[in-house]
């Protein structure tokens, strides 16, 4: 595959060994930086219609090379894609294969755009909450982060936000670190736009979270910010 050869040509053996030790997932690492992957993916995307991009993304992912999987996700990370059902089906098919945060997060960056384009897909994402893999459960939260960032939400946006907040409640007793971190991060991001809703959620369910997740959830609340008046001794 020419595209995989381009990635290999930019590899660095020393960085590859460091990445393998850091990520720990058993696959090939080339030692190519994310900005380099992004540059390549943008070039591969140009002039390719959606079916060709989906095919290339599938082949890159199936190579099971770390950088190739990231490139596969970047090929599909675009707000407007028509038709996008083949793109969503490919991304959703990757989710059960997640085995670490790095590739999963890049893939869900592509996935969240497809969820925003067709929110009815949240019904499928809801099924991930019962999956035995923590990475699949976590993907349900990572992929819905855009609903924390809507500045002027419409009623349907608020309803979808509340739905995901109910998912956080459902997973609050999950002791996996990455699940707790995802819950804390989701609430932290929401607190920038709706701090009272986060306060209410924490008052009702915060005691069920691990302490670090509670701290993360409230970190951006005005009363907890280090730069708030009288809060000079607060953690950042």
Of the candidates 200, 180, 204, the residue with the CA atom closest to the CA atom of residue 191: 200
- Tokens 């971190």 locate to 181
Q: Where residue 227 falls among pLDDT bands split at 50, 70, 90?
A: low
Per residue in 114-164, pLDDT (tens digit) is 999 999 999 999 999 999 999 999 999 999 999 999 999 999 999 999 999
Residues of the chain with CATH 1.25.10.90: 1-118
Helices (H), the chain: 2-9, 13-23, 34-45, 50-62, 66-75, 85-94, 101-117, 122-126, 134-142, 155-171, 177-191, 195-205, 211-218
Rounded (5°) CA angle 219-227-168: 10
What is the reported pLDDT for 225? 80
What is the reported pLDDT for 230? 42
What is the reported pLDDT for 232? 35
Cβ–Cβ < 8 Å for 205, 187: no
Six token digits for residue 154: 């419409």
Query: What is the CATH class of 1-118?
Result: mainly alpha
- Tokens 């991001």 locate to 189
| C-alpha to C-alpha distance for 195 and 110, rounded to whole angstroms | 27
Residues of the chain with CATH 1.25.40: 144-236
Per residue in 77-114, pLDDT (tens digit) is 988 888 999 999 999 999 999 999 999 999 999 999 99
Dihedral sign from CA coordinates of 198, 204, 205, 210: positive
**CATH of segment(s) 144-236:** 1.25.40
Cα torsion through 216, 23, 18, 68, rounded to 10: -120
Is the pLDDT at 173 greater than 50, yes or no? Answer: yes
Mean pLDDT for the chain overall: 94
Eight-state DSSP code of residue 150 = -
Overall pTM surpassing 0.85 (yes/no):
yes
- Tokens 């855009």 locate to 146
């Amino acid at each position: 595959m020419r595209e995989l050869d381009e990635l290999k040509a930019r590899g660095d053996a020393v960085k590859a060994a460091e990445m393998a030790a850091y990520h720990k997932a058993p696959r090939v690492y080339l030692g190519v930086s994310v900005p380099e992957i992004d540059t390549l993916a943008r070039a591969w995307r140009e002039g390719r219609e959606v079916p060709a991009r989906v095919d290339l993304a599938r082949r890159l992912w199936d190579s099971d090379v770390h950088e190739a999987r990231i490139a596969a996700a970047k090929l599909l990370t675009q707000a407007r894609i028509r038709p996008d059902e083949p793109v969503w089906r490919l991304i959703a098919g990757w989710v059960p294969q997640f085995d670490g945060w790095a590739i999963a997060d890049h893939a869900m960056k592509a996935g969240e755009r497809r969820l925003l384009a067709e929110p009815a897909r949240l019904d499928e994402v809801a099924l991930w909450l019962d999956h035995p893999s923590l990475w699949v459960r976590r993907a349900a939260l990572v992929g819905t982060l855009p609903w924390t960032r809507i500045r002027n939400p419409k009623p349907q946006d608020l309803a979808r936000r509340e739905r995901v907040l109910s998912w956080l409640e459902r997973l609050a007793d999950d002791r996996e670190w990455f699940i707790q971190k995802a819950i804390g991060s989701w609430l932290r991001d929401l607190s920038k736009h709706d701090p009272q809703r986060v306060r209410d959620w924490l008052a009702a369910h915060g005691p069920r979270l691990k302490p670090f997740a509670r701290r993360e959830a409230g970190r951006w609340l005005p009363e907890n910010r280090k730069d708030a008046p009288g809060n000079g001794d607060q953690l950042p």
